[in-house]
Chains A and B, each alone.
Chain A
Amino acid sequence: MKKLLKIVAILAVAGLLIGGGVGLYMFFMPHRDVQKSPTDYTLTSSELVAEYLNDFDQANQKYLSEDGNSKIIEVTGTVASITEDYNGQKVVLLKEPGQVAGVSCTFMHETNPNATALNIGQTVTIKGVIRSGVFYDPDLEMHLNAVIEKSDVVL
Chain B
Amino acid sequence: MIRKMKTTKILLTALITIVFSMTAFSQAGDRLVSSKSHIKFFSTTPAEDIEANNYTSTSTINTSNGNVVFTVPMQGFEFPKALMQRHFNNSDFLDTKQFPNARFVGKIANLDQVDFSANGTYNAQVEGEMTIKGVTKPIRENGTITVNGNSFEINSKFNLTLADYGVEFVRGKPASNIAKTVEVTFVGEYQKQ
Binding site for B on A (CB under 8 A): 26-32, 60-61, 64-70, 83-87, 89, 91, 104, 106, 130-133, 137, 139-142, 144, 147, 149
Contacts and interface: CB of A to CB of B under 8 A. Distances in A.
A106 B55 contact: yes
A84 B36 contact: yes
Nearest to A27: B83
B53 A87 contact: yes
8 contacts: A64-B75, A64-B97, A67-B86, A68-B85, A84-B36, A137-B69, A137-B103, A149-B76
B: contact size bracket: 35 or more
A29 B55 contact: no
A64 B96 contact: yes
Interface in B127-172: none
Given A60-B97, A132-B74, A144-B58, 11 more contacts: A29-B83, A31-B85, A66-B91, A68-B75, A68-B89, A87-B55, A89-B55, A137-B69, A137-B71, A139-B67, A149-B56
B55 A131 contact: no
B100 A132 contact: yes
A36 B56 CA distance: 23
Interface centre among B33, B86, B100 (most CB of A within 10 A): B100
Interface string B15-50: 000000000000000010101111000000000000
B81 interface: yes
B66 interface: no
Contacts of A84: 36
Contacts of B38: 85-87
Contacts of B71: 137, 140, 144
A117 B54 CA distance: 25
Contacts of B58: 140, 142, 144
What 3 A-B pairs come out closest when comparing CB atoms? A68-B89, A132-B73, A86-B38
Nearest to A30: B82
A140 B81 contact: no
B56 A147 contact: yes
B35 A132 contact: no
Given A64-B96, A147-B73, A85 B89 contact: no
A76 B113 CA distance: 47
Interface string B71-107: 1011110000111011011110001110011010100
Given A31-B82, A66-B90, A132 B53 contact: no
Interface centre among B33, B76, B90, B187 (most CB of A within 10 A): B76
Given A86-B38, A132-B101, A140 B85 contact: no
A130 B75 CA distance: 9
Contacts of A142: 33, 58, 60
Contacts of B67: 139
A64 B97 CA distance: 6
A89 B36 CA distance: 11
Given A66-B89, A67-B86, A85-B55, A131 B81 contact: no
Contact of B97 (A29, A65, A89, A149): A65
